[in-house]
Each structure stands twice: as C-alpha cells, then as structure tokens.
Amino acid sequence: KIMLFLGKLVAIGIEQKSTVDIFSRAVYYDLNYKTLNLGTYSALIEFYFVRKFKLRYLTLGSYVHT
C-alpha cells in the first residue's frame, strides 16, 4: 500500500493476503510526517480490509530472533 499526503509519497506498507488473513510485514514512513501517526493509520486500513474481505485474522508484523 502506498500513502500520499498532498501529492507526496509519505509511507509504504507491505502486506501479504491469504484466504483467511492479512499479514502486515512492515510500514515505512517519512519521519517528517510522524505527527500524522501513519503506522496507526496503516493498521486501521488493514483492519478495514480484514472486515471488507471477511477474513478471520490480521497479523501485525513478526518477531525475528537473531
């Protein structure tokens, strides 16, 4: 997903959709726009799509142990 604000690219979200869920991999955003809470906005959009497509789950990121 690509987010624009006043015609400028401010965030990019990477998601994977399956038949039962959406897995949100990452959201990258311009720190000059951190007051817009783009991470929170991105999660709300993902919740919307889970309901719209009648999916069962939304996974927000994952932990990678190194």
pTM, two decimal places: 0.77
40-52 tens-digit pLDDT: 999 999 999 999 9
Give the per-residue pLDDT at 61: 80
**Cα–Cα distance list, 6 to 17, 29, 58, 64 (Å):** 28, 15, 29, 35
Q: Is 13 exposed, middle or buried (0-12, 13-18, 19+ CB in 10 A)?
A: buried
Contact between 21 and 60 under an 8 Å Cβ cutoff? The reply is no
9-40 tens-digit pLDDT: 999 989 899 999 999 888 899 999 999 999 89
